[in-house]
């Protein structure tokens, strides 16, 4: 067993031992708060990432639709030029 020489040393040791559970609780509370904050940050980042992915998907769909409309318009223009181009003296190689 540990022999303690003076009452001051015994009191200091007793105080130190008594404070350990409180220090442990404070440390555990702080770790839980940090863990919670990190979890919220990760969740927020994930939500932003998913939202960004959805926006990019919408943008790709819009660009593809616009591209298809432009191709359709070009095809219509080419067909109109083939039909009416001869009346303006325009010749095409494929006709």
User: Would residue 1 count as lying in a domain?
Assistant: no
What pLDDT, on the 0 to 100 scale, is given for residue 42?
Answer: 83
Query: Per-residue confidence at 79, pLDDT binned at 50, 70, 90?
Result: confident
User: What's the helix, strand, coil split of the chain in %, to 5?
Assistant: 85, 0, 15
User: Would residue 92 count as lying in a domain?
Assistant: no
What pLDDT, on the 0 to 100 scale, is given for residue 89?
Answer: 59
Please tell me the distance from the alpha carbon of residue 11 to that of residue 84, in angstroms, as a whole number: 108
User: Would residue 95 count as lying in a domain?
Assistant: no
Q: Which domain holds residue 56?
A: 7-87
User: Would residue 13 count as lying in a domain?
Assistant: yes
User: Would residue 58 count as lying in a domain?
Assistant: yes
Give the total number of structural domains in the chain: 1
Please tell me the distance from the alpha carbon of residue 18 to that of residue 61, in angstroms, as a whole number: 66
Higher pLDDT, 68 or 81: 68
Query: Per-residue confidence at 65, pLDDT binned at 50, 70, 90?
Result: very high
Identify which of 52, 51, 49 has the alpha carbon closest to the alpha carbon of residue 41: 49
Please tell me the distance from the alpha carbon of residue 85 to that of residue 90, in angstroms, as a whole number: 5
Predicted TM-score (pTM) of this structure: 0.48
pLDDT surpasses 60 at 94: no
User: Would residue 93 count as lying in a domain?
Assistant: no
**Contact status, residue 78 vs residue 85, Cβ threshold 8 Å:** no
């Amino acid at each position: 067993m540990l022999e303690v020489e003076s009452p001051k040393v015994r009191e200091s040791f007793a105080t130190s031992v008594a404070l350990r559970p409180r220090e442990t609780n404070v440390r555990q509370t702080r770790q839980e708060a940090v863990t919670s904050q990190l979890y919220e940050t990760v969740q927020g980042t994930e939500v932003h990432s998913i939202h960004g992915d959805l926006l990019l998907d919408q943008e790709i769909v819009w660009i593809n639709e616009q591209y298809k409309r432009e191709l359709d318009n070009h095809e219509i223009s080419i067909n109109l030029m083939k039909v009416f181009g001869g009346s303006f003296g325009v010749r095409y190689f494929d006709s």
